Amino acid sequence: MKDLTIGKEAKLIFNFALPMVIGNILQQAYHVVDSIIVGNFLGKEALAAQGASFPIFYTLIAFVIGIGSGATIVISQYFGAKDYTRVKKTIDTIFIFLFFASIVVSIIGISFSHEIFTLLRVEEKIIPIATTYFNIYMLGMVAFFGFNGTSSVLRGLGDSMTPLYFLMIAAVVNIILDILFIVVFKWGIAGVAIATIIAQGGAFLSAAIYLTLRHQIISFRIFSLRFDKALFLQSLKIGLPTGFQQTFVALGLMALIRIVNNFDTNVLAAFTVASRIDSLAAMPALNLASALSAFVGQNLGANKIERIKKGFKATLVMSWVMSFVVMLGVILFGKYIMAVFNQDPDVVRHGTNYLVIVSSFYLIFSSMFVIHGALRGAGDTLIPMFITLFSLWIIRIPFAVFLSKHFGVNGIWWAIPIGWSMGLAGSYLYYHSGKWKDKGIIKRTH
């Protein structure tokens, strides 16, 4: 556990974010390695099927993850206020919620997967492959929610290192099993999903055993867990807007996939690969924003507003530097990175165009997410939700439809940074209004 209410702001946030950056890069490595092996050994149809599965998976988990983030904010603020009894009760409550939520999500996903792929206009030849991959993947939801929930709770307590250790184990296991199941056993797309489930399950089981034996607050002794209705409702109040926001973002991604599917398999395969690279490139900014959330949560709980402002400015500068470096790397080497996944010239061409267009706006993207990170840490999630919905559904999706009709595939790619720009404008104005200062769960003395 790490107290973020004392010490140099920039150093604390950077040191807190660094393990998350490494950890999330490893987590994304699951998907990157999957895509490289799938693209080279199973072909672009399997790659497209994998890409079509992600927005559905994201849509199903988004609401639950959003609510879970509300509990993380509650944990960080009570931890900052040194109220360890409520910290423990909130942790118990969120684990119970995530367990039952994982079962519901699995049942819904498996029951309606074929219909959803059809609704997204996925090509008929790809639907059976996509359904196989998706349904197997959904069987691992307990492990997925368990491990991600554990990682989020630890970050709320100021510990970003412990999740990294278990992610490292999972990444290595996932790579070995990918090669074994696909190259040696010839299990096809099913092998990719099975490898990921085993890797995530192993990581969660290892984390559960270790934390139960060694951690002061977190325990996975099933019969000692207690559900606290009041703390859950408090978490729900903060997490619901984020849950709705994440869900509509996920639905926006599904809408984007539907627009992409108006073109051929090459475009969907290119989008699959390029968006994976894009997700990896965005990790530094996203994790700095997450670190800032924990920092703001603890310091708001401790009533240190000026310290929050200093931390915000430091995080913004760090995210700009990292985003600029990543942008240059993606623009210069995007074409070669695309070719690692699949050698088809059309796939490489469409994916490279995506990377060049989107990465040119990483500074805008990182600024928007840092602001959102500060607001989330303060427990102010409602207005950011409306800003996100506006930039996505009023700007990005309509622009993607309009521009794709007039400029082809590249029009879809241009709609993404246009949406980011509008989101940044709204977020910046709201942050500087200062209304977030009074959204904490700990009553402040003015």
Check if the beta carbon of residue 208 is closer than 8 Å to that of residue 43.
Answer: no
> Would residue 383 count as lying in a domain?
yes
Nearest to 268 by CA among 142, 396, 368, 130: 130
Check if the beta carbon of residue 50 is closer than 8 Å to that of residue 265.
Answer: no
Nearest to 270 by CA among 186, 335, 361: 335
In whole angstroms, give the CA distance from residue 402 to residue 410.
11
Question: Does 115 have pLDDT greater than 90?
Answer: yes
In whole angstroms, give the CA distance from residue 198 to residue 169.
11
**Contacts with 158 (C-beta within 8 Å, 6 or more apart), sequence order:** 1, 2, 3, 4, 16, 76, 79, 294, 298
3-state secondary structure of 6: coil
Nearest to 44 by CA among 216, 360, 233, 267: 267
Nearest to 143 by CA among 207, 215, 222: 207
Check if the beta carbon of residue 431 is closer than 8 Å to that of residue 374.
Answer: yes
In whole angstroms, give the CA distance from residue 319 to residue 83.
32
Check if the beta carbon of residue 373 is closer than 8 Å to that of residue 293.
Answer: yes
Backbone angles phi, psi at 170, to 5 degrees: -60, -40
- Residue 411's pLDDT band, with cuts at 50, 70 and 90, is very high
Q: C-alpha distances in angstroms, 142 versus 55, 102, 128, 173?
A: 19, 5, 24, 18
Check if the beta carbon of residue 164 is closer than 8 Å to that of residue 147.
Answer: no
pLDDT (average), residues 125-153: 91
The length of the chain in residues reads 446
Q: What is the mean pLDDT of the chain?
A: 87
Tens digit of pLDDT for each residue in 169-225?
A: 888 888 899 899 998 999 999 998 999 899 989 988 888 888 788 777 777 777 788
Tens digit of pLDDT for each residue in 245-301?
A: 888 888 888 888 889 988 888 898 899 889 888 887 888 888 899 889 888 888 888
Residue 439: per-residue pLDDT: 66
Question: Does 336 have pLDDT greater than 70?
Answer: yes
Residue 442: per-residue pLDDT: 60
Residue 26: per-residue pLDDT: 73
- Residue 129's pLDDT band, with cuts at 50, 70 and 90, is very high
Check if the beta carbon of residue 256 is closer than 8 Å to that of residue 411.
Answer: no
Percent of the chain with pLDDT over 90: 36
pLDDT (average), residues 87-107: 92
Residue 184: per-residue pLDDT: 92
Q: C-alpha distances in angstroms, 384 versus 6, 252, 308, 379?
A: 28, 16, 18, 11
Most confident range, picked from 21-25, 151-155, 286-290: 286-290
Catalogue the E-assigned strands of 305-352: none
- Residue 24's pLDDT band, with cuts at 50, 70 and 90, is confident
Question: How deeply is 429 buried, as exposed, middle or buried, from its count of CB atoms within 10 A (0-12, 13-18, 19+)?
Answer: exposed
In whole angstroms, give the CA distance from residue 352 to residue 336.
9
Question: Does 446 have pLDDT greater than 50?
Answer: no
Domain that holds residue 354: 9-438
Check if the beta carbon of residue 134 is closer than 8 Å to that of residue 56.
Answer: yes
> Would residue 443 count as lying in a domain?
no
Question: Does 308 have pLDDT greater than 80?
Answer: yes
Which residue in this structure is represented by tokens 């867990």?
225
Residue 109: per-residue pLDDT: 95
Question: How deeply is 84 buried, as exposed, middle or buried, from its count of CB atoms within 10 A (0-12, 13-18, 19+)?
Answer: middle
Nearest to 12 by CA among 294, 319, 378: 294
Residue 222: per-residue pLDDT: 74
Question: Does 420 have pLDDT greater than 60?
Answer: yes
Higher pLDDT, 311 or 444: 311
> Would residue 445 count as lying in a domain?
no
Check if the beta carbon of residue 272 is closer than 8 Å to that of residue 47.
Answer: yes
Question: Does 389 have pLDDT greater than 80?
Answer: yes
Residue 305: per-residue pLDDT: 85
> Would residue 4 count as lying in a domain?
no
- What token pair was written down for 47? 């790659």
Q: Fill in the amino acid letter for 45.
A: E
Question: Does 42 have pLDDT greater than 90?
Answer: no
> Would residue 395 count as lying in a domain?
yes
3-state secondary structure of 82: coil
Residue 287 CB coordination number (10 Å): 26
In whole angstroms, give the CA distance from residue 339 to residue 184.
23
Residue 391: per-residue pLDDT: 93
Which residue in this structure is represented by tokens 């997490």?
239
Count: domains in the chain: 1
Q: C-alpha distances in angstroms, 405 versus 52, 261, 356, 378?
A: 21, 13, 20, 41
Check if the beta carbon of residue 440 is closer than 8 Å to that of residue 433.
Answer: no
> Would residue 1 count as lying in a domain?
no
Q: What is the pTM of this model?
A: 0.72
Of 67-71, 96-100, 195-199, the poorest mean pLDDT is in 67-71
- Residue 378 DSSP symbol: T
Q: Where are the alpha helices (DSSP H) in 126-264?
A: 127-138, 141-156, 162-178, 189-214, 229-260
Residue 19: per-residue pLDDT: 84
Tens digit of pLDDT for each residue in 216-256?
A: 777 777 778 889 999 899 888 888 888 888 888 888 888 88
Residue 370: per-residue pLDDT: 94
Residue 147: per-residue pLDDT: 87
